[in-house]
Structure formats: C-alpha cells, structure tokens
A and B are shown apart, each in its own frame.
Chain A
Amino acid sequence: MIGFIKKDLAMIKSNFKLLGVLIVIYAIMGLMEKMDISFILPFMCVMIMISSFSYDNYNKWDAYSISLPNGRKNSVKSKYITTLLMTFIVSIITTILSFIISYINTQSINYEQILVTMFGTVFGTLLVLTIMYPIIYKLGVEKARIGIFLIVFGIVIIGSLLANFVDLSNILKALAFLEDYLIIILILVAIIMVYVSYKISEKIYLKKEF
C-alpha cells in the first residue's frame, strides 16, 4: 500500500511548488487584508489528485497495477489516502497561517470563525472528492468530467426548486439546536461520506476490466 501512495505522491510532486506559491499569495493577501483565498487551497489538492487520474489513464497504469500484489484494492485506497493526506496538511498550514494573520492584523485571534471557515472548506472539498472519485472509477476520468457537470447542475436545479417550493426557514429553525455541535457533526458526516464513497469506488474497481 505504501508503494502506491509513494507513486501517487511522486506523480503530483511537481504541483507542490504551485501549492506553495498559492499559500504565499494567500498569506500576503491576508496580511494586506485583501481577499481571503483560503478556501481554494484544500480544493486545489483534490483537483491536483484528479489530474493524477489522467496520467494513470494515459499510460494505462490501471491494467498494469492489477498485475502487482493487491493492485486493485491498493490503487483505490492510495488515491483516497493521498488526497486526504494532502487536504489535511494544506488545511492545517492554512489554519495556522490564518491564526498568525488574524493576530498580526487585529492583535487577537478569532478562533471560532477561522475554525468554522476551515472545517467548512475541508467539508466542501471532501464532498467534491466523495462524489467525483466513484464517478471517475465508474466512467473513467474523461467521461467523469461530463458526469460531475451533470451532477452539480442537478444539485443546483433541485436546490433552487426546493427553495422555491419548500419553506426552509422552519427546517433551519428546527435544526438550530445543532449549531453548537456543528463542527462535530461536520466531522462525523465527512467521515461517513468518505468511507461510503471509498467503499463504492472499491466495489466498482474490484470488478472493472481494463
């Protein structure tokens, strides 16, 4: 398994510089009290990992990887672990930077706001991952681009229809008591989402022929 993670990391290492540059830009913009781009950084990790699927596809790595010990299971596992690893490391760096920037700018640290923003960002990133990876495994990375477009489009349409026909304010009021536990709920939901997505991807990949 470690080998598969090493291979994925080796593939995306050229993107580490780009991430570093983005983190620096974020810090400078934060210090100048300009736009907050922290939400882009974890999301970039998933996008970089998705580009690794294209490289795999181009050189037919999938078929080759199956000829290696435990190739099918480890291929999927390593994609999820590498993505999570990158997302968490970048999120932790961004959070620490946010604390420092907040302190320099205001001489105080707004822990709650920074943490909620960061957890929200990581949650959104993981949501993209959990939806995209099974689609990529099912359809291949090229067709998955169309698939994800249709899904996002569908979610927006359904969301706007719901907002038109259902009064969400009552639901939000009913759920208000959960606000204190928001971060814990987000973490739990994220864990379940990623696990279910991983299991679906694994099931697809175990049966797939190349």
Chain B
Amino acid sequence: MAKDLHSELRTKEAWNASIAFSVVILLLFAFAFDPSSDQIREFGSGLLWMTYAFAGALVLNRSFARELQNDCLDALIASPVSSPALFVGKALANFAMLFAVELFSLPVFGLFYNTWPPRFAPLFLVMVLGTWALTIIGTLFSALTVNLRLRELMLPTLVYPMMIPVLIAAMTVTTNILAGTAMGFGVRFLVAFDIIFTTLAVVFVDTVLVG
C-alpha cells in the first residue's frame, strides 16, 4: 500500500487526471440540469456518485496496469507477499486515493450547486462504505483484466454493471441525507455488499493473479 501511494504521490498521474475529470463533469452537469432549482437536492446525489464512479475508474484502471512496466507484476507475484495481502494493499491505496478525490470534489459540488448536507457524519459514513465497495470491485477487475489484450474495453464492460447496485444504494442514501431524512435500507445493503464482495475478492484474488 505504502509503495502504491508513494509512487502515486510522486507522479500524481491518476490523481491529477481524476481531479480534473471530476471538476469537468460537475461543470458539465450544471449545464445539463438547472443548478439553481429546488430539485437539485433530489438529483444532486446522483451527480455526485456518477462523478465518483467515473473518477474512480481512472484511479482503479491504473492500479495493476502500472505494474506491467518492467514486469513488476510478475516480480510482485513471485515475491513472498501472499496474493490476498498484495490485493488488500492495493485496495487500501486505491481507497485512499479515491477518497481524497471525493473529499476534493465534495466542496466543489457544494459550491457549484449550492447544496450542503445538514450533517456531515452520515455523508462520510456512506462515502466510506460506497467507496470501499467501488474500490474492491474495481481493484479485483483491474487485476483480472491486466493481462488481456482488450483491457481498456473489457474493464468498463465488466466493472460498471457490477458497480450499479452499490451506486444505486449510495445515491438513495445520499439523497436522504441531503434532504435531512433517515438514511434508510441502503446503508445495510452497502454494509452487506462490502462484506460479501471483500470476502469473495480476497478468496478469489489468488485464482485471478496466480491460477
């Protein structure tokens, strides 16, 4: 994890692209919808999570692909570190990066759309749960597609459908938070999803990376 964060902090490749991308998306959405209307509380969460999902894809796509240069991935697999440990390290690094992008784009969203949640604690909770789910799916599929010849095409085809249930749950909860009402069933769904998919990913990462 430290290695990934270190190399990312040094190059800032994914970070810069992802931040720039999220600001551009938020800017474009302002022209697609009327940002001053009252309805912004209803569809604001959708905009926010779509921004996170697409910005996240930029971070996650590079997670394993960056190890391809100089056969670093083979070296990592051959090293005494177990595949699940390698995977969890990568996932934690991705989570930290994606969460940082989200923390940056949240005030941008609030500023552009003049929408602030009444309380921040529940919003951070759903951001942590939702982001972890996106990260775990994204990192696993990044590992799965890393050696494919159609990597750039296969990754979004596989990842986005898997992310849809998470995004729907996260959007519903965020809409409730922005409206100041109870968070609802979505939180339980996110917790269950996180637990199930983290377990599955840790179990299958060895199959995916080593065989």
Q: Does B associate with A?
A: no
Contacts from A to B (Cβ < 8 Å): none
